[in-house]
Amino acid sequence: MDYITQIRQFNRDYTVKLGLLDSSYLGSGLTLTQARVLQEIAITGENGASARDIALRIGTDEGYLSRILSKFVKQGWVSRQPDGADARRKVLTMTKVGQAVYAPLDAASRELTRDLTAHLSEPAQDALSASLSQVQRLLTKPEHSDITVRGLQAGDLGWITEAHGRLYAQDEGYDLRFEALVARILADYVDVPHAQNRAFIAVDTSGQRLGCTFVVHDDDDTMRLRLVLLEPVARGRGLGKRLLAMALEHAKANNYKKMVLWTHESHQAAIALYKKAGFSLVSSEAAEAFGKQVVDQVWEKSLI
């Protein structure tokens, strides 16, 4: 029997054993997808999850997921609130009513699993658990397997300028002066090269540009992070963290002692990323920039 036939046979057997084909999963009155969505929200606890987070984890259609979530919110099972770190992102958390609905479903699922394995000895249960972990590892694709990070190529400068102008006008209300600033930064990057300067451009398998990060030489001890950007379609996938890690790794490998960056206080999603990476706030000052009242901030991270 070839491996594909074996996997399909396993799937046919255990979709029945686990009750996955029933219209009401474990007698809950919910479909399997609805129960899984409820579970995804429950396991995130107080931190919550966004609809995009859930869609990526369970691989469901976002339109279908939106209808499920709207029903849960209407029933009072789930609360949808703006994320404190990024107002554009809505966080879903379980209400007390939702917890009361989910608890018996979770208990029933655990009981079903216990019944399926009750005939096994303890060593056999451990062997089963280890085997299932191995299956999970084998079937998990490497993180970001569909995204490549490369250096600067022809056409990138135009996209970086356009994307910054478009997204910051849309998200922050910045005027054309911001797009002009980005163009000047990029011109300096090309016209005044340094051996340690690097550009990290993230693209998908079709070549579509998804994000970028630049690091430039400030002085013998300091490297500066610039032009950090992710297209909306690439957010929530850990790509920003990946690009930042690559930038920091490059600076450390070239014996820089610290990384610095300039940003605005309103860029809460980016700031949350910098904090998690170990950056500390050095200065904060109110200013006017690009047609908006802003708070300039400088952040710094030691690399030694």
What is the per-residue pLDDT for 23? 78
Torsion sign (Cα): 41, 44, 48, 50: negative
CA dihedral 58, 64, 69, 72 (to 10 degrees): -110
φ/ψ of 148, rounded to 5, equals -115, 140
Would strands 258-264 and 222-230 be described as parallel, antiparallel, or unpaired? parallel
| Tokens standing for residue 207 | 């070549």
The label of the residue with tokens 């478009």 reads 166
| Strands of the sheet with 292-302, listed across from one edge | 147-150, 198-204, 209-217, 222-230, 258-264, 292-302, 280-289
| Tokens standing for residue 240 | 């920003």
Give how far Cα 157 sits from Cα of 63, 78, 202, Å.
34, 43, 13
CA distance 180 to 202: 23
Alpha-helical (H) ranges within 200-238 are none
54 pLDDT more than 90? no
CA distance 228 to 235: 12
- pTM of the model as a whole: 0.56
For 19, the 3-state DSSP assignment is: coil
Task: Please give the single-letter amino acid code of residue 148.
Answer: T
Q: For 150-176, what is each residue's pLDDT tens digit?
A: 999 999 999 999 999 999 998 889 999
CA distance 198 to 181: 19
Q: How far apart are the first and last CA of the chain?
A: 56
> Which residue from 212, 239, 216 is spatially nearest to 227, judged by alpha carbons?
212
C-alpha neighbours within 13 Å on the C-beta side of residue 57: 16
Q: For 176-206, what is each residue's pLDDT tens digit?
A: 999 999 999 999 999 998 999 999 999 988 8
What is the per-residue pLDDT for 27? 86
Q: What is the DSSP letter of 48?
A: -
CA distance 139 to 100: 34
User: What does 270-284 look like in DSSP terms, one character per residue?
Assistant: HHHHHHHTT-EEEEE
- Which one is predicted more confidently, 303 or 21? 303
Q: What mean pLDDT is predicted for residues 263-269?
A: 89
Task: Please give the single-letter amino acid code of residue 54.
Answer: I
Q: What mean pLDDT is predicted for residues 213-227?
A: 94
> Which residue from 240, 266, 84 is spatially nearest to 172, judged by alpha carbons?
266
| Tokens standing for residue 84 | 């404190």
Among the listed ranges 32-46, 208-222, 248-262, which one has the minimum average pLDDT value?
Answer: 32-46
Walk me through the domains of the chain, giving residue ranges and CATH numbers. 3-139 (1.10.10.10), 147-302 (3.40.630.30)
Among the listed ranges 95-104, 131-140, 213-222, 274-283, which one has the minimum average pLDDT value?
Answer: 131-140
